[in-house]
Amino acid sequence: MLTLSHISKTFNPGTVNAKTALNDLSFHADKGDFVTIIGANGAGKSTLFNAISGSFMTDSGRISLDGKDITLMPEFKRARQIGRLFQDPMRGSAPGMSIEENLSLAAGHGGWMSSISKKDKANFREKLALLGMGLEDRMKQPVGLLSGGQRQALTLMMATFNPPKVLLLDEHTAALDPGTAEKVLAITKQIVEENGLTCLMITHNMQSALDLGNRTIMMNSGNIVYDVSGDDRKNLTVNDLLLKFKESVGKELDNDRMLLS
């Protein structure tokens, strides 16, 4: 499904600030894989997502999605096949526009000159009701009035409205309070399972890295240092993960926001 082969990216090359963010990284995810990603600060997790979604072009290597080479495809074209959520709940929706207007943009069907139909509205209502947040009764309200958790749930709905080939979740619950985070995570799980999405999720929560999905990778210095799935992963504990990290990197895993439980 998603294949990265030998991708590298160096920021500010040739200066004192040169930083190799991705270093000859190769990775392959099969259709339906749910991969959780952990790693220290500056390990290159978000950079990896930026490379996949096309926020920048890689310096070398190839990226292919569903058998098609997308290495040099611009970001907005990739966005039709790749859904992405950021940590900041404010980032994924337009605050001055109503919920239904935001959803209409995400739904994307109909020509440029089409407007929101009754059928669209009924469809939006139905999908919003699944979130269980009462948003279906607030469709005319500007998104700016929603709470962080509601906005992130809405963004998730927008990103998966037309099931993408790959869903990238970049610590999308980190800025939410624990209760809301749990709820958004449950919705995430539900949507991913229902649509059989291929999903990559960066998380700072070691436990959910093991609980969610079917595979976990650990990153350090722009590369993957540990990749576990199947039976090996089933019996893994958070402590094992930390030991693995120390084993392969030679120092303790260090992440500002890391949650061990």
Binding mask 47-66 for another protein (x = CB under 8 A): ------x-x-----------
Q: Which of 47, 93, 216, 223 binds another protein (CB under 8 A)?
A: 93
Considering the rule CB under 8 A, would residue 41 count as an interface residue with another protein? no
Q: Which of 59, 75, 136, 227 binds another protein (CB under 8 A)?
A: 75
Considering the rule CB under 8 A, would residue 91 count as an interface residue with another protein? yes
Considering the rule CB under 8 A, would residue 115 count as an interface residue with another protein? yes
Segment interacting with another protein (CB under 8 A) among 14-22, 62-70, 79-87, 250-258: 79-87
What tokens were used for 11? Answer: 């920021």
Amino acid (one-letter) located at 6: H
Considering the rule CB under 8 A, would residue 94 count as an interface residue with another protein? yes
Considering the rule CB under 8 A, would residue 174 count as an interface residue with another protein? no
For another protein, the binding residues in 140-159 under the rule CB under 8 A are: none
Considering the rule CB under 8 A, would residue 108 count as an interface residue with another protein? yes
> Does the CA dihedral 39-225-208-159 come out positive or negative?
positive
Amino acid (one-letter) located at 235: N
Considering the rule CB under 8 A, would residue 76 count as an interface residue with another protein? yes
Considering the rule CB under 8 A, would residue 114 count as an interface residue with another protein? yes
**Residues lying near another protein in the complex (CB under 8 A):** 53, 55, 74-77, 79-80, 84, 86, 90-97, 101-102, 104-106, 108, 110-116
